[in-house]
């Protein structure tokens, strides 16, 4: 009887505890952020790198500090081990809000394809890369189902030790370049290089690379929106290397803000910076004519996307002759401007009403190169195109050329 009474008492004690546990469950689950770090230093066929192990530990501690729930570290990985780690990580990434891959080690660009080099690679011939190295595209594929944001960070832009002894095959058509080639990730994705495309990164002399030190410091800084994180990393590395090394990021994120560490209560978050170069490249890559790409190259000579913009231009062939249509200026009442065809792909602004919404943002002589990320239709009157674009959304985004400069202008009713 006593034993039975003890069981009943324990049961009633357990019920409130269970209820309390349920009530303590948050209404909304915390975001799940996961990371994979690969650090290759002890190469079988090349001189060892001194920094990747220390860099991996530094970045792991930073990611753990900002709340990443799972940070896996793989060191001195063969190709089979790299592929296995990526395969396992993809299962975590499929269930995560944010998936981040950080790689430190050797990498190379071969025929415009980027490869990360495992420690067991021999790379006696250039075409052996297909069988002995891991493509950057593979990393992107492993995180493509992540729910919110995908980030791939490569501190892999060092001099390629395999280049000098690598036999060129297939008629010598494959070129091995310094550093890594520019990329264009899609969706909510960022690819960050420790050094810009075609350049090499420094190992540093203090146990960690300049890039890893800057990244670890900025990741844990409160209130830095992700676009600011990598801008500040860039500035830090440029300063430390006396301008010799410039980190670059590729990708275009949406307007939804992301913080590794949210702003402190009561503090105002830093304003999100509009990346004008990325905006101009977006217009180039999605445009139906060559105008936006010509504008990008004119303004951003030597920019992050110049190679891609020139490749895009080749799709259009030689510039078309100006058709001379719509030479008479017409009013666009919604914007308070008068426009006419400018020849080629542009729309010329002839006059601006000081009472209109374009006053102070558009000026006589401006050339409108794109409307809502689309090039003007040369078969439709310019005023009609602008009126229609504005009427549909009450907002219009224009790529405007003003003298030698090009800028984004957004007008709202």
Q: What is the per-residue pLDDT across 178-233, written as a single tens digit (0 to 9) for each?
A: 578 788 888 889 999 998 766 667 665 568 899 999 999 999 999 999 988 999 99
Does a structural domain hold residue 274? no
Cβ neighbours of 390 (radius 10 Å):
21
pTM of the model: 0.61
Selection from 55-69, 298-312, 381-395 with the highest mean pLDDT: 55-69
Residue 131 has pLDDT above 90, yes or no: yes
Selection from 181-185, 232-236, 359-363, 374-378 with the highest mean pLDDT: 232-236
Q: What is the per-residue pLDDT across 47-80, written as a single tens digit (0 to 9) for each?
A: 888 899 999 999 999 999 999 999 999 999 999 9
Do 334 and 264 lie in one domain? The reply is no
Mapping DSSP to helix (H, G, I), strand (E, B) and coil, where does residue 402 land?
strand
For residue 175, the domain's CATH number is: 3.40.50.1460
Taking the C-alpha atoms of residue 411 and residue 77, their distance in angstroms, rounded to an integer, is 52
pLDDT computed for residue 150 by the predictor: 96
* Counted domains in the chain: 2
Residue 401, domain extent: 330-412
Does a structural domain hold residue 26? no
Nearest to 279 by CA among 246, 248, 255: 255
Among 85-89, 245-249, 301-305, 335-339, whose mean pLDDT is lowest?
Answer: 301-305
Query: In sequence order, what are the residues at sequence separation of 6 or more whose Cβ sits closer than 8 angstroms to the Cβ of residue 288?
Result: 374, 375
User: Quick one: tokens of 174?
Assistant: 């494959």
Does a structural domain hold residue 316? no
Residue where one domain finishes, among candidates 268, 293, 319: 268
Query: How many residues make up the chain in this entry?
Result: 413
Does a structural domain hold residue 234? yes
Do 251 and 348 lie in one domain? The reply is no
Taking the C-alpha atoms of residue 342 and residue 293, their distance in angstroms, rounded to an integer, is 17
Does a structural domain hold residue 295? no
Q: Which residue has the higher pLDDT, 405 or 7?
A: 405
Q: What is the per-residue pLDDT across 262-299, written as a single tens digit (0 to 9) for each?
A: 988 766 555 555 566 777 777 777 777 777 787 777 77
User: Quick one: tokens of 103?
Assistant: 């790689």
Mean pLDDT of the residues in the chain = 80
For residue 384, the domain's CATH number is: 2.30.42.10
Do 251 and 107 lie in one domain? The reply is yes
pLDDT computed for residue 11 by the predictor: 32
Residue where one domain finishes, among candidates 268, 289, 318: 268
Nearest to 102 by CA among 76, 135, 73, 80: 73
pLDDT computed for residue 3 by the predictor: 43
Q: What is the per-residue pLDDT across 146-187, written as a single tens digit (0 to 9) for each?
A: 999 999 999 986 667 787 778 877 544 344 555 787 888 888
Q: What SS3 string covers 138-170?
A: HHHHHCCCCCCEEEEEEECCCCCCCCCCCECCH
Beta strands in 29-143 (DSSP E): 33-39, 70-75, 98-104, 107-110, 113-116, 134-135
Mapping DSSP to helix (H, G, I), strand (E, B) and coil, where does residue 88 land?
helix
Taking the C-alpha atoms of residue 262 and residue 300, their distance in angstroms, rounded to an integer, is 33
């Amino acid at each position: 009887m006593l034993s039975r009474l003890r069981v009943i008492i324990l049961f009633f004690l357990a019920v409130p505890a269970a209820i309390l546990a349920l009530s303590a469950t948050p209404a909304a689950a915390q975001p799940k952020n996961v990371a994979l770090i690969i650090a290759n230093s002890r190469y079988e066929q090349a001189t060892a790198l001194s920094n990747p192990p220390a860099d991996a530990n530094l970045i792991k501690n930073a990611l753990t500090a900002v709340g990443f729930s799972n940070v896996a570290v793989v060191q001195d990985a063969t190709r089979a081990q790299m592929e296995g780690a990526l395969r396992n990580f993809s299962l975590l990434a499929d269930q995560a809000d944010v998936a981040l891959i950080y790689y430190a080690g050797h990498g190379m660009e071969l025929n415009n394809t980027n490869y990360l080099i495992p420690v067991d690679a021999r790379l006696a011939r250039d075409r052996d890369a297909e069988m002995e190295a891991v493509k950057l595209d593979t990393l992107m594929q492993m995180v493509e189902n992540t729910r919110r944001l995908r980030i791939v960070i490569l501190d892999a832009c060092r001099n390629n030790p395999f280049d000098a002894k690598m036999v060129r095959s297939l008629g010598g058509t494959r070129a091995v370049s310094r550093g890594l080639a520019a990329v264009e990730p899609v969706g909510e994705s960022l690819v960050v290089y420790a050094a810009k495309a075609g350049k090499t990164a420094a190992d540093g002399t203090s146990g960690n690379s300049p890039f890893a030190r800057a990244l670890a410091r900025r990741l844990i800084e409160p209130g830095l929106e992700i676009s600011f994180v990598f801008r500040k990393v860039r500035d830090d590395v440029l300063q430390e290397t006396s301008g010799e090394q410039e980190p670059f990021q590729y990708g275009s994120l949406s307007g939804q803000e992301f913080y590794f560490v949210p702003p402190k209560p009561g503090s105002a978050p830093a304003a999100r910076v509009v990346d004008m170069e990325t905006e101009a490249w977006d217009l180039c890559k999605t445009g139906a004519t060559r105008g936006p790409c010509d504008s990008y190259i004119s303004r951003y000579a030597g920019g992050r996307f110049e190679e891609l913009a020139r490749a895009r231009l080749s799709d259009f062939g030689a510039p078309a002759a100006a058709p001379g249509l719509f030479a008479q200026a017409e009013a666009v009442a919604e914007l308070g401007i008068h426009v006419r065809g400018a020849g080629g792909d542009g729309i010329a602004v002839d006059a601006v009403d000081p009472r209109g919404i374009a006053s102070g943002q558009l000026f006589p002589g401006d050339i409108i190169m794109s409307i809502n990320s689309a090039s003007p239709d040369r078969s439709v009157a310019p005023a009609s195109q602008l009126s229609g674009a504005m009427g549909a959304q009450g907002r219009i985004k224009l790529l405007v050329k003003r003298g030698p400069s090009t800028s984004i202008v957004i007008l709202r009713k």
